[in-house]
Amino acid sequence: MKRKAEITLEFVETIVVRQRNESFQAFCPFCRRTVEMSIPSSAASSAGLTEREIFRRIERGEAHFIEAPTLFVCKDSLTGLKDPRSKDLLR
């Protein structure tokens, strides 16, 4: 006598969207490597700058940023850890 077993598999996928995540690792097209990207206010406080100064540097091309879709600033471009060659590009 054959027995028929019924197995029900249920998969639950959880996608966590961290809205409050102020920084993450991302590829900086200017540094050409993975760096820490932060929202302007967070980048400003960790670099000892004002948020306004961050935007000023972005306008002058001194600070690297990505739009994803909100603005994130490359922390390396603020802390002077950037490649010396990139200085020449920003002059």
Binding track over 25-64 against Zn ion, x by CB under 5 A: ---x-xx--------------------------------x
> Closest separation between CB of residue 64 and Zn ion, Å?
3
Before 40, cis peptide (omega within 30)?
no
By CB under 5 A, the count of residues binding Zn ion is 6
Q: Which is nearer to Zn ion, 11 or 26 (CB)?
A: 26
Give the strand order in the sheet containing 71-74: 23-28, 33-38, 71-74, 65-67
Residue with tokens 């920084």: 23
